[in-house]
Amino acid sequence: MTESTMASREMSSHPLVLLSYRLKAFVEFFGQRAAYLIVPLVLVTMWDVFSRKMVFMQIWLVENISIWFRSTMLQEMEWHLHTALFALVLGYGFTRNRHVRVDLVRMHMQTKMQATVEFIGTTFFMIPYTIVVLYFCYVFTYDSFLTNEISPSLVGMSHRWIIKSILAVGLIIALASGLAVWLQTIMVMFGPKEMRFELMTLEWPEEMGGGVEGYKRMVLEDQETDMKKIGKAGKG
């Protein structure tokens, strides 16, 4: 085992790197599970659209089963599910580098310069902004709980503080994702050149050009070669 390989493995177990991985695991725990909210969101939306065309069925369901079949209830449930889905996967998208970037300058930089831009962005923009929004989110969630806020509609949903609390949880998760990326940028900027560990929003110099915004670049020639190998294996 070479000295550079040993150094690389030691750095991958550095406390800051491990902390960034733990924060990422925390973010992904919620993000992966919250992604399933798309299923009830789609089902509720479909039922709402369908029931509007079958008014007599909707009236019967409201009168005989539950008021939750009211169109207003269904629409507000759609908004709440969409809010929960968006809030809880926001940080997950960041640690997975799935947010759209419009950075015509950064994309042409080397790894350390990209890490510098990422460090400035997370330090002076993302993390402080998330903390400020989280504070105001706490304020209006607390006020909503004290006043037992309900829907402006007479036939809408009650307990508005619940969905506002979920929004606050989503902001905490987003803050954790920002800290995870922030810790990695510090290690890339100030750590030894030979260190290597799995990056979230950056690429190591030897890996640059092999992907597009976090996605591995698909080379058609390689895909054709793989298909030919599979075909030969099948014939064999």
pLDDT tens-place string over residues 169-198: 999 999 999 999 999 999 999 988 888 889
Residue 7 — pLDDT band, cuts 50, 70, 90? very low
Calculate mean pLDDT across residues 1-14.
Answer: 52
Helices H / strands E in the chain, number of each:
9, 2
DSSP, collapsed to helix, strand or coil, labels residue 212 as strand
User: pLDDT value at position 4?
Assistant: 47
User: Which residue from 208, 176, 23 is spatially nearest to 112, judged by alpha carbons?
Assistant: 208
Segment 222-236 mean pLDDT: 59
Nearest to residue 159, comparing CAs of 215, 80, 78, 93? Answer: 80
Which pLDDT belongs to residue 6? 41
**Across residues 187-213, what is the average pLDDT?**
82
Q: Is the pLDDT of residue 117 over 90?
A: yes
Q: Cα angle at 14 between 12 and 15, to 5 degrees?
A: 135
Per-residue confidence at 37, pLDDT binned at 50, 70, 90? very high
Q: pTM for this structure?
A: 0.80
User: Who's near 98: CB < 8 A, 6+ residues apart?
Assistant: 214
Highest mean pLDDT among 24-28, 61-65, 69-73: 24-28
